[in-house]
């Protein structure tokens, strides 16, 4: 440790003394699977802001870990909200994974083809989970105006989905599907 710079020595000391406590806190709050990632992010913040780490460092580190966990939960909520919004636009499939993937791809393609203003509103509401009042603040309009824009954006998205090319039922099946069909016919 003698060949380390003072900052490196201080960080190493803080890490050695506090890592297990930060991990225990993260595991208790977010589960064992998430704890390692939270510890890594917490100490990455500590390294970047080493001058701001007070003595004793543990309360500060636990505050950082708390914020990391909070940010993780927020992003999870946003992702779930976006998925729920996408499910609103995709009819429930009967368990065919290929159809679900194709439908999701069609939704994402349709979303990408919308004007930026429509995409922004849909993402604010669906992905970010903002209500009309908060989304209106972001966009810079009244909540009533945002509701109208959101309605129109959803309609345009639905129209884009309706106009998207669908696989041609008259087209011969793919090679794998043709082989499965041939095998079924031979077995019957």
Blockwise average pLDDT, block size 10, the chain, 188 residues:
79 94 90 91 95 91 92 82 69 61 78 85 82 87 93 90 65 41 37
Q: Could you tell me the pTM of the whole model?
A: 0.46
Rg (CA), the chain: 25
Q: Which fold has domain 90-166?
A: Arc Repressor Mutant, subunit A (1.10.10)
Model pLDDT for residues 94-136, shown as the tens digit of each residue = 556 677 677 777 778 888 888 888 888 888 888 778 888 888 8
CATH 1.20.58 correct for 6-77: no
Looking at the chain, the domain(s) classified CATH 1.10.1740 span: 6-77
Q: Which of 50, 110, 177, 128 is nearest to 185 (CA)?
A: 177
Q: Where in the sequence of the chain do the CATH 1.10.10.10 domains occur? A: 90-166
Q: Assign 3-state DSSP to the chain and report helix, strand, coil percentages, each to 5.
A: 80, 0, 20
């Amino acid at each position: 440790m003698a060949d380390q710079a003072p900052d490196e020595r201080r960080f190493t000391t803080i890490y050695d003394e506090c890592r297990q406590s930060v991990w225990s806190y993260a595991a208790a709050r977010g589960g064992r699977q998430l704890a390692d990632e939270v510890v890594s992010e917490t100490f990455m913040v500590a390294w970047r802001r080493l001058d701001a780490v007070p003595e004793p460092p543990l309360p500060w580190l636990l505050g950082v870990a708390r914020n990391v966990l909070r940010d993780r939960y927020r992003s999870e909520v946003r992702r779930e909200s976006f998925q729920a919004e996408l499910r609103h636009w995709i009819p429930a499939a009967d368990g065919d994974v290929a159809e679900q993937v194709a439908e999701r791809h069609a939704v994402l393609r349709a979303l990408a083809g919308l004007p930026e203003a429509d995409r922004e509103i849909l993402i604010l509401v669906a992905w970010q989970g903002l209500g009309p009042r908060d989304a209106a603040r972001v966009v810079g309009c009244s909540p009533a105006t945002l509701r109208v824009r959101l309605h129109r954006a959803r309609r345009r998205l639905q129209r884009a989905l309706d106009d998207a090319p669908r696989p041609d039922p008259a087209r011969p099946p793919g090679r794998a599907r043709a082989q499965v069909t041939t095998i079924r016919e031979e077995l019957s």
